[in-house]
Amino acid sequence: MQFGVNNSNQLSTVLGFDSERIAIKNDSSIVKTKCQKVEDEEKRAKDNLCPDLLGEDDEMTYTDSSTFLKGTQSANPHNDYCQHFVDTGQRPQNFIRDVGLNDRFEEYPKLKELIRLKDELISRTATPPMYLKCDLRKYDLNQLQSKFDVILIDPPLEEYQRTNGVNNVEFWPWEDVMKLKIEDVAAPRSFIFLWCGSSEGLDLGRQCLRKWGFRRCEDICWIKTNVHRKDSKHTKNLESKAIFQRTKEHCLMGIKGTVRRSTDGDFIHANIDIDLIITEEFDYGSLQKPDEIYHIIEHFCLGRRRLNVFGRDDIIRPGWLSIGPALTNSNFNANTYSNYFSDQNGHLTGCIERIETLRPKSPPPKANKQTKSSSVIRPSGHYLRKSQRP
C-alpha cells in the first residue's frame, strides 16, 4: 500500500482515526450493557409481581423485605426499625436501651444512690393505704375533709374500648370527667396528673385542668413496647377506624399556685426523673398503667397527701388514698386520715442531708443578672418562665 501499512488497523493509526475506532467500540459495549440491564430489570419486575397477577405456577411468597429495599449500597443496609416492624411486628421502641428502673442509672452511681435514698424516705413516711368505694358522679369530694398535694386521675375513657378492648367497665365521657369537683380538694400549692389517652383526650384533658384551676406544665408520655407479646405477629390492640395505630398514652401534669425550683426545695425535687415511661404494654382488655408514674410523682413532689381518683384494687398503694366505683371495699376514715398530717409540716416527707447533697439543684443566680421572674417546675427539670408584674 502507498502508506506502507499492511492492514486497516495500521491505516487508522496513520490517519489518526484510532481513537475514533476505540470510541465506537466502547459505545457498542455500552449499548450492549444497557440492553442487558433492561432485560435484567424486566425479569426482576416480572419476578416481583404480586402473586395475584401471576399464574398458579408462578406464585411467590415474600419472607422478608429484601425485595422492596431500594437505594441500598450493600447487601447489609442500615437499620430500618420501621421496616423491621412491618416484617416482624416488633416496635421500634423495643430497641431503646436501659429503660427499666433497675438499669437506667447503672452508669450514674450518684443518681442511683439518690433514687435509693428517696425510695427509702418515701417508704418510711408513707401513710397506710386507704381506699373508699364510692360513686364519683354522686359523691361529694368535700366529705374527704382534706386538701391534697398530689391528685392522680385515671378515668375509664371510651377510647380504651377502641384501642385496648376494654369492655367490662362503665366508661366516662369527658363531659362527666370535667364535672368532678377536683378544685374543692386541691391544696393551694398542688399538682395534678391526668391520664388522657392519645387522641381527643389531649385537648379535652387540658380543658379539665383549666376548669379545675391548674396550669398544664408537662406531658408525661408512656411509650408501649411489645417485646414479650404472646399473641399473633402484630398486636391485637388496633383501632379499627384509625389510619395510624397509636402505641403511646399521655399523662398531663398541671400545677396550682406558684412553685419555684430555687426556693421551694421543701416541696419539690426536680430533675430526678424523665418525662418518658417506656414499658411493655399490658394484656389486651386491661386498664392498667405503669407503676413508674407513681415513682415519678413521689420522687418529684414531697407532699404526703396523695389522692388517686378512679382507684382500683390492683393499684392500692401505701401513701395514697384511692377512691372510685371499681374498688370492692372501703377502709377510709376522715379523722384518722387527717391525723396523719396533724404535726407541723406533717404533710411533707422532709429530707435528709445526703439527699439534699445529691439531688440536682438550680444554679445560683448571678448577682448582676437578677430578673423578676418565677420558675414553674416540671419533674423532668424543664420549667416555664412566668413574669411578675411590679
CB 163 within 8 A of CB 250: no
Read off the pTM: 0.74
Starting at the edge strand found earlier in the chain, the sheet holding 130-133 runs: 130-133, 320-324, 306-309, 148-153, 186-197, 248-256, 215-225, 276-280
Mean pLDDT by 10 residues, the chain (390 residues): 55 56 57 58 54 47 53 58 81 86 85 94 96 96 96 91 73 94 96 93 95 95 85 56 80 94 90 90 85 96 97 95 96 96 92 94 66 52 44
Q: Cα(76)–Cα(66) distance, rounded to whole angstroms? A: 10
User: Strands 383-387 and 373-377: what pairing?
Assistant: antiparallel
Grid cell for residue 104? 437506667
User: HSE on the CB side for 297, CA within 13 Å?
Assistant: 28
User: What are the tens digits of pLDDT across the range 294-323?
Assistant: 999 999 999 999 999 999 999 999 999 999
Closest C-alpha to 89, from 261, 203, 235: 235
Say how many C-beta atoms besides its own lie within 10 A of residue 123's C-beta: 11
- Of how many residues is the chain composed? 390
State the burial class of residue 325 (Cβ atoms within 10 Å of its Cβ: 0-12, 13-18, 19+): middle
State the burial class of residue 168 (Cβ atoms within 10 Å of its Cβ: 0-12, 13-18, 19+): exposed
Helix residue spans in the chain (DSSP H) = 8-15, 18-47, 81-88, 109-125, 159-164, 174-178, 201-211, 292-300, 334-339, 353-358
Long-range contacts of 72-75 (CB under 8 A, 24+ apart): none
User: What are the tens digits of pLDDT across the range 20-62?
Assistant: 556 555 555 554 555 565 566 656 555 554 444 444 445 555 4
Closest C-alpha to 235, from 226, 244, 222: 226
Say how many C-beta atoms besides its own lie within 10 A of residue 202's C-beta: 13
For residue 376, the SS3 value is strand
Grid cell for residue 247? 402505641
Grid cell for residue 118? 428517696
- pLDDT confidence of residue 217: 92
